[in-house]
Amino acid sequence: MFSPFPKINNKDLIVSDNIYSLTRKDLFFLKDIEYNVLKTKQIIFIRHGNSQCNSYKGTISQRRIDKNLLDSALTPLGRTQAENLRKELWDIDTIDLVLSSPLSRAMETASIIFKDRKIKILDILAEVVGGWGDVGQLYENRLYRNTYLKNIVWDNSNKNYGIEDRWEKNDLWNFIDEGEFKDARPYESNESAKQRIHLFWKWIANYTEGRSRIAVVGHSKLFGRIDNDYGILLSRAKFINREFKNCEMVKINFN
């Protein structure tokens, strides 16, 4: 069962509004014409709010194998963080397109921050699978469990871009042997994660014509961690020597 949620305090609600520039080297896999399209855009990346996975009190190994964390939802702290960020986005009306990971914690965060907007779901934005908390559910099940998500207009037209239906069929990962926890947790390869990251940038370059300001709600591993060799914003993670915090927002420009 889940541990009790932590008490909310002011330091948990701090939102960091950073600006970071990506270079051509960061996006070497794009064609020049695709990169030139990106130079006309500003993208705002937002990590989801505090989730049941983040508040788990067991060990990392225990958390990875706990099926109760499947597609974990936001905690009350996470919802408060998202509400707090919404207040910080004074120019929210100038955002042309909102994208969300298909996992519940990201969809819930996006629905709070952008509650009056249509939100597009991209399965390629799902967290890199390292445990049961990163495994999702079918779209209908997500809305059934989190009924207030039914009040949001969700755009599913590109949800399986580049990966067909492998995310909803849970075919993006295999089981990993961890000794006493043999075959206990799902694990996505680095190659799969890198492929999805490349697909994400290609989608932005090729399918966002007329959209100059884009908001992306997603996850820390996919965005980039210093001990990994993949990440949508890996160079930023290594530059600042840390991953995204819950509900941290970063505005990206292109050199």
The string over 124-153, giving b where at least 16 C-beta atoms fall within 10 Å of a residue's C-beta and e elsewhere, is: bbbbbbbbbbbbbbebeebbeebeebeebe
* pLDDT tens by residue, 151-190: 999 999 999 999 999 998 888 999 887 777 777 899 999 9
9 has a pLDDT exceeding 70: no
* Domain ranges within the chain, ordered by starting residue: 10-156+167-254
The string over 47-78, giving b where at least 16 C-beta atoms fall within 10 Å of a residue's C-beta and e elsewhere, is: bbbbbbbbbbeeeeeebbbbeebebbbbbebb
In sequence order, what are the residues at sequence separation of 6 or more whose Cβ sits closer than 8 angstroms to the Cβ of residue 187?
129, 130, 173, 174, 175, 176
Q: H or E segment at 99? A: strand 97-100
Question: Average pLDDT over the chain, rounded to whole?
Answer: 90
- Asked if residues 39 and 213 have their Cβ atoms less than 8 Å apart, the reply is no
Q: What is the percent of the chain where pLDDT is above 90?
A: 76
* pLDDT tens by residue, 198-238: 999 999 999 999 999 999 999 999 999 999 999 999 999 99
Q: Burial level of 39, CB count in 10 A (0-12/13-18/19+)?
A: exposed
Specify the 3-state DSSP secondary structure of 141: helix
* pLDDT tens by residue, 38-82: 999 999 999 999 999 999 998 888 999 999 999 999 999 999 999
Strand-pair partners of 137: none
**Residue range 10-156+167-254, CATH number:** 3.40.50.1240
Tokens of 235: 């160079």
